[in-house]
Copies of this chain bind each other. A is one copy, B any other.
Amino acid sequence: MKKIKPINDARKTGTDLVFSAIRQNSPTPRIDIVKQTGLSPATVTSITADLILNGLIEEVPAVKSTNYQKRGRPRVDLKIRGDAHLVVGMQLTDKMATVVIVDFDGKQISDYSLPSAKPVRSALETVDLLEKALRKSLENANLKIADISGVGIGIPGIVDGPAGYVYWSPTISDREIFLQDMLVDRLDIPVFLDNDANLVAIAEQRFGLGREARNFIVVSVEEGVGMGIVIDGKLYRGSHGCGAELGHTKVHLDGALCRCGQRGCLEAYVGDYALLREAGTALEALSGKSAELQMDILLNEAKKGNQMAASIVERAGRMFAMGLANVVNIFAPELIILAGRRMQYDYLYHDGMIAEMKKSIMQVGAPSPEVRVHKWGDLMWTMGAAAFAIDGVSEIALKDLN
């Protein structure tokens, strides 16, 4: 018995094309939409009129860029209408739940975070925490839940986004839970969830450095090593909807022990705990201090020229380069974005590491990918969730519109 799934969903309507063209090049005149989508001017006029009528986009005075046309009827820019919807992005970590409220154009309205004493929570406690954080942040902003069109949530771990299913998360004690369904029951608004690293990739695509690339990867180092892959303008999630596990890519046969239980994982060489494990046996000064303080000391010692510390940090950098090179050899993206929130990871993002990676790429003639470092603020992950929510709400809005 063959399974037959419709492949027709892939067929984009003109409205979809126009809307995503506007979102991609935000304030953009109709004439450019014509060029980008390949639709006729007549069609673009009629579709955009419909979108304006429905309040999803709006006209704004054209921005006169350097290469603006000199004569002729002036262009009229179109942009997403921020007032169309309010959405929420949330990020779950071991220490807290973070919330950001943004408008439909991605403009940040307010943010809030609710600390949690318990680093690992049950499924129910997780839902409670998320709900409480959301309600509090709405209260602060003087909003009701009915004002919100959708919530995007980033969860660390192995998550099947499209199914709304969490196989496993380091901050949730229960496994294999239908977290999306639980949250929809509780909140009664659309909920979109996904692995947090995937959402950072979406944030880069919408708001960040990925706006002009069709194939790129975003690597985000924090506790672990996360990666999001965008192929042909679409987030690639693998066959079960789970994200890629760059951190558990093997860089050494029978190598260092990873917290996942396997050996030789990249994370076991570049994660905080991996560095401290080595440092602990080499530097006495560290004993008794907190993990964060220990990292500070280690990195400072390395900068000051302490040979032991420098060699630890240097090897981590080289291992990271090797892991990245493997991704490039497999994927050949045009752009690699190294997204980080904390500056302490400078040791992974310096030019030497990037040069080392480029040396490890097999390439004869073909250009090597551009590497860009994006140092976000604290809300990087949460804004990713918000971007995801905007995507989801857009899809619903366009479908409703017929």
Contact = CB atoms under 8 A, between A and B. Distances in A.
A279 interface: no
10 contacts: A2-B212, A7-B38, A11-B12, A175-B364, A238-B331, A238-B332, A240-B334, A251-B253, A262-B359, A264-B322
Contacts of A363: 158
Contact of A244 (B2, B67, B237, B331): B331
Given A36-B7, A215-B238, A365 B158 contact: yes
Contact of A239 (B176, B326, B333, B365): B333
B36 A6 contact: yes
Given A326-B326, A327-B330, A37 B6 contact: yes
Interface string A204-219: 0000000010110000
Interface in A313-333: 318-319, 322, 325-327, 329-333
A92 B227 CA distance: 37
A252 interface: yes
A233 interface: yes
Nearest to A227: B330
A366 B242 contact: yes
A2 B66 CA distance: 12
Interface string A234-270: 0011111010111111111100000010101100000
Given A6-B36, A231-B231, A366 B322 contact: no
A6 B37 CA distance: 5
Interface string A1-15: 111111111111000
Given A250-B251, A326-B250, A329-B248, A38 B362 contact: no
A39 interface: yes
A258 to B, nearest CB: 9
Counted per complex, copies of this chain come to 2
Nearest to A254: B318
A33 to B, nearest CB: 9
Contacts of A251: 250-251, 253
B332 A239 contact: yes
B175 A249 contact: no
Contacts of A175: 364-365
Nearest to A20: B7
Contacts of A6: 35-38
Contacts of A5: 36
A168 interface: yes
Main secondary structure of the interface of A (DSSP, over half): loop
Contacts of A36: 4-7
A39 B329 contact: no
A108 interface: no
B37 A8 contact: yes
A167 interface: yes
A276 to B, nearest CB: 21
Contacts of A332: 237-240, 242, 244
A385 to B, nearest CB: 22
A113 interface: no
A333 B262 contact: no
Interface in A188-209: none
A328 to B, nearest CB: 9
A364 B249 contact: no
A32 interface: yes
A11 B11 CA distance: 6
Nearest to A16: B11
A288 interface: no
A240 to B, nearest CB: 5
A17 interface: yes
B364 A167 contact: yes
Contacts of A32: 4
A158 B248 contact: no
Contact of A240 (B67, B157, B247, B367): B367
